[in-house]
Amino acid sequence: MIDFDKAGGLVPAIAQDAATGQVLMLAWMNREAFDETVRTGRVCYWSRSRGKLWRKGEESGNVQEVREIFIDCDADTILLKVHQIGGAACHEGYASCFFRKLENGGLKTIGERLFDPKQVYKK
């Protein structure tokens, strides 16, 4: 189904809001994260920085429920259509990780921060 071996064990996984089509984020999945996502209906990624499974929302409560899963033509990228619970997919408190737009040679924040990360991630 997915060629994890071709991609070195990790494949990109794009999360998209199932209702609006907004791209929420890009993360990585290994076979174990993908299998758990399919089994539970809640998105699980592989955290490269932590070196372990990352169950989306385990700290923030902003979980992603799977609505549909698509695999690209090369079988090495996953598109997850999700219901984003809590409103924010981004760890910086925005609905989407893509809250900055390149405009006039600089970055402009176009999203509205929904929560303060310092209050949610108290590590």
Give the Å distances, CA to CA, from 117 to 81, 108, 112, 120.
25, 20, 13, 5
Q: What is the DSSP letter of 112?
A: -
The mean pLDDT of the chain is: 94
Tell me the whole-structure pTM to 2 decimals.
0.91
Give the pLDDT of residue 121. Answer: 82
Burial of 27 (0-12, 13-18, 19+ CB in 10 A): buried
Give the model confidence (pLDDT) of 92-106 as tens digits. Answer: 999 999 999 999 999
Residue 10 has pLDDT above 90, yes or no: yes
The CATH code of the domain at 11-118 is 3.10.20.810
Helices (H), the chain: 31-40, 117-120
Report pLDDT for 78: 98
Please state, in angstroms and rounded to a whole number, the distance separating the CA atoms of residues 99 and 107. 10
Percent of the chain with pLDDT over 70: 99
* Residue 8 confidence class, pLDDT cut points 50, 70, 90: confident
pLDDT-based confidence at 63, cuts 50/70/90?
very high
Q: Assign 72 a pLDDT band (cuts: 50, 70, 90).
A: very high
Domain boundaries, the chain: 11-118
